[in-house]
Structure 1
Amino acid sequence: MSEHWGDKAACRSIYPETFFPPGRVDSVNRQKQVQVAVAVCTPCKVRRECADDAIRRNAAHGVVAGVDLGDNSSSHSLTPECERALRAVADGVA
């Protein structure tokens, strides 16, 4: 049985709520939590796979593959801007 990419993720042992910061996008506390999440994601060895997965799942909120998706949970859809950012990660450009 092959190992799932998520088993190699840097976030696998981090409290999940770290990647789903509450509050308005412009709040200072939210921005600090986003910085923590991005710091975990940026050096991750499976960041590209994570980005691919987020695109496939149409992720609408949180910090995924080092990209802050904001809180689009009311629309339940990945914004075009966030999708471009995730595609750049998935393609190894970002």
Structure 2
Amino acid sequence: MTNLSRLPGRAEHLWQWQSRAACRGQGPERFFHPEGERGDDRAARDRAAKRVCEECPVRAQCLRHALRVREPYGVWGGLTEQERQALTTA
């Protein structure tokens, strides 16, 4: 029989906030740019994603997560990857 006492235990509390996110079910295309997207198209997509984040009840948790794991892509917690990177390198 496997010794379960050495397992780290339940961890859903680490990601449960995601079930309440305003972006849930909207698909990744609004929050993650396709390869090669630049200029006005990318700026418009980022603005649309940020509008969703403005109304999100778990925005702070989302941003904390993205900063903690240094999420390299997409809009998380209302910030783009460049905006998050500026926070972590300041």
Give the TM-score normalised by the residue count of structure 2. 0.71
- Structure ranking higher in strand proportion: 1
Q: Which runs of 4+ in 1 moved over 6 A?
A: none
SS at match of 2:43: helix
Among 60, 64, 68, which residue is 1:52 paired with? 64
1:33 aligns with 2:45: yes
After TM superposition, the structure 1 = structure 2 runs for residues 1-94 of structure 1, keeping only pairs within 5 Å, are: 4-22=16-34, 23-24=37-38, 27-70=39-82, 79=85, 81-83=86-88
CA contact (8 A) 1:37 1:66 kept: yes
CA offsets, 1:1-29, max 9 Å, x none?
868100000001111121012323xx101
**1:82 Cα deviation (Å)?**
3.9
- Larger gyration radius, structure 1 or structure 2: 2
State the number of aligned residues: 74
Give the Cα separation in 2 of the matches to 1:82 and 1:64. 13
Give the Cα separation in 2 of the matches to 1:42 and 1:83. 21
**1:57 Cα deviation (Å)?**
1.1
